[in-house]
Amino acid sequence: MTRIRICGAGIIGLACAEELLLRGHDVEVVDPAPGSGASYAAAGMLSPSGELWHGEADLFRLGRASADLWPAYAARLGVALAQSGTLLAGADAGDVQEIDRQLGLLAEAGVAVEALTRRELVAREPGLGRVTGGAWLPDDHSVDPRSVVASLLARVPVVPVASGARVDLTVLATGAHLPAPYAALVRPVRGEILRLRAHAPDQAPATTVRGLVHGEPVYVVPRSGSDEIVIGATSDEHDTPPVPTVEGTFRLLEAARALLPGLDRAELVEVTARDRPGTPDNLPLVGPTGEDGVLLAAGHYRHGVLLAPITAQALADHVETGAVDPALDPRRFVTEGSAA
């Protein structure tokens, strides 16, 4: 049994803690405001295909592997997994060209995805507005991150300040704001996100829609089994506090209501902004730092919810065997405890 202190009770810190507790370790999680960071804002898309980007083959591999873990993980935590797939939709010809590029990347990664005409898109999602074409991603699903965090918090005790007890290992899982000397390994990437309440079925899409509207990316996630709809998200590199802005809210609403005009009658209930923890290569930092007894589980950028189960396994495996996936190894950026 290893004595471990985890700093940070977002979805990553909690998932790691739960896995370590299940494996019989002695775990203390410290956070004065559990679940209030990026996990609180996240839409919960489990979307390795929709988020695939150039040069991110390792991220795609990890995302697919973690997506495969989610059905059993959600069942174990008692949270609903919406397995209804994702529509990609482009408003104009330029947007469809971008979607075609995405399909090309997926084909290179060995995933065959069929492009859809406007007519085929509307057959799948009758509430779509002016769209020109798109595609169907059958394996990109979603989960409610707030339910996941609530379920993890019911399994993992969290204290506001460290007890002072001696531990063998400390895991830093504080998202976009790591302590020294690791602070420079993550950069804050602000995301603004909206939550709506649908008052009639025609106000919400049946499935997640990821759109490009005249170049503006937007996603609309209907929450399975509830009237919640999430619209996200802006993405801004910044060094000011993450507050919701008029401009960000306007951009999201403008794109979302062009894509799905039925949203106009839904109730706007929440506007949230949080920092995503971006790393230099957009891959997380999971494992040893080079500093004795200090591990990282951080830097999950746009993928914290998707990668939570695989991160928990990777971190716990490292604690027990010393194994580390080179793609996740924090030492690719740090040497002997100092940020490179």
Token pair, residue 116, equals 């859809």
Q: Which one of 5, 190, 210, 276 is in contact with ligand GLY (CB under 6 A)?
A: 276
Q: Would you say 45 or 91 has its CB closer to ligand GLY?
A: 45
Tokens standing for residue 284: 């997380």
Q: What does the alpha-carbon distance between residue 104 and residue 107 come to, in Å, rounded to a whole number?
A: 5
Site string for ligand GLY, 86-105 (x = CB under 6 A): --------------------
| 277 touches ligand GLY by CB under 6 A | no
Compute the distance between CA of residue 125 and CA of residue 88 in angstroms, rounded to an integer.
Answer: 11
Q: How far is the CB of 51 from ligand GLY (least distance, A)?
A: 6
Q: How far is the CB of 3 from ligand GLY (least distance, A)?
A: 34
CB of 188 to ligand GLY, least distance (A): 13
The count of other CB atoms within 10 Å of the CB of residue 324 is 18
Each residue 177-196 as x (binds ligand GLY by CB under 6 A) or -, in order, gives: --------------x-----
- Near ligand GLY by CB under 6 A: residue from 302, 316, 329, 330: 302
Q: Is 45 in the site for ligand GLY (CB under 6 A)?
A: yes
> What does the alpha-carbon distance between residue 250 and residue 248 come to, in Å, rounded to a whole number?
5
Residue 5, interface with ligand GLY (CB under 6 A)? no
Helix-strand-coil percent breakdown of the chain, rounded to 5? 35, 25, 40
Q: Where are the beta strands (DSSP E) in the chain?
A: 3-7, 26-30, 45-46, 81-82, 86-90, 115-117, 133-137, 141-143, 158-159, 169-172, 187-197, 208-213, 216-222, 228-232, 236-237, 267-278, 285-288, 294-298, 334-335, 338-339
Q: Which residue is nearest to ligand GLY (CB)?
A: 302
**Which residue of 232, 278, 284, 288 would you call a contact of ligand GLY, by CB under 6 A?**
232
DSSP code of residue 310: H
Total binding residues toward ligand GLY, as defined by CB under 6 A: 6
Residue ranges binding ligand GLY (CB under 6 A):
45, 191, 232-233, 276, 302
